[in-house]
Structure 1
Amino acid sequence: MAYDISDDRRLRRVAAKMESYGDRAQYSVFLCDLSRADLADLRHDLCEIIDQGEDYILIVDLGDPATPNRFEVLGRHRPWPATGPTVL
């Protein structure tokens, strides 16, 4: 999961919530090993914190590459590149 939060207060709240579910890999990137129920709970909690029109959270499922819809966005959607999303 990665995020871009525009307000410092919301940023701190999102970071604290993420720290309770996963491990920080970079400043705004977390690695989380979540059950479906945990992911649903985290998704709900984050949507309660963020401003849907300003903030951006990207959820990437790093499991089975054949899984459809491996990328999910909470908040403000950004256009994907013409070739689709790529994880580097």
Structure 2
Amino acid sequence: MLYILITYDINTTSLNGQARLRKVAKVCINYGQRVQNSVFECKVNEAQYRELQHKLLKIIDKNVDSLRFYRLGENYDKKVKHIGAKQTYKVDDPMIL
């Protein structure tokens, strides 16, 4: 499994940009958890990672938007320090809905 951090900056000065922002967030939420407004932590396999990238690249406008993908590695939880509000769950922990 890969631990990926996805960040994005979508130009929302137009209605199309606002729609792209919602679409990007909707795709990302299907693969991980939102940890900040435009930041998601995801645990995916290689196929899911390629699929996720492909879906996001079809949405964004490369001339005005940007995406960043960070591979956090195996011990991601030791590399991330969280301070403040909006606590998150560990990606590997069971989730009760």
Name the TM-score, length of structure 1 as normaliser: 0.70
Residue 12 (structure 1) aligns with: 22
Q: Which runs of 5+ in 1 are unaligned?
A: 66-88
Runs of 4+ in 1 over 4 A off after TM superposition: none
Which structure has the highest helix share of the two?
2
Give the structure 1 partner of residue 82 of structure 2.
none
Residue matched to 2:41: 31
Indicate the RMSD between aligned Cα atoms, in angstroms: 1.3
Count of residue pairs the alignment pairs up: 65
By relative contact order (CA 8 Å, sep 6+), the higher-ranking structure is 2
Which of 1, 4, 7 is matched with 1:2 structurally?
Answer: 7
**1: CA distance, partners of 2:29 / 2:62:** 21
Cα distance per residue 1:28-72 (max 9 Å; x no partner)? 00000110000000000001100011110110000059xxxxxxx
Q: TM-score, normalised by structure 2?
A: 0.64
| Structure with max Cα Rg | 2
Match of 1:47 in 2: 57
- Uncovered stretches (5+) of structure 2, i.e. residues with no partner: 1-5, 12-16, 76-97
Percentage identity across aligned positions? 40
SS of the aligned residue for 2:44 comes to coil
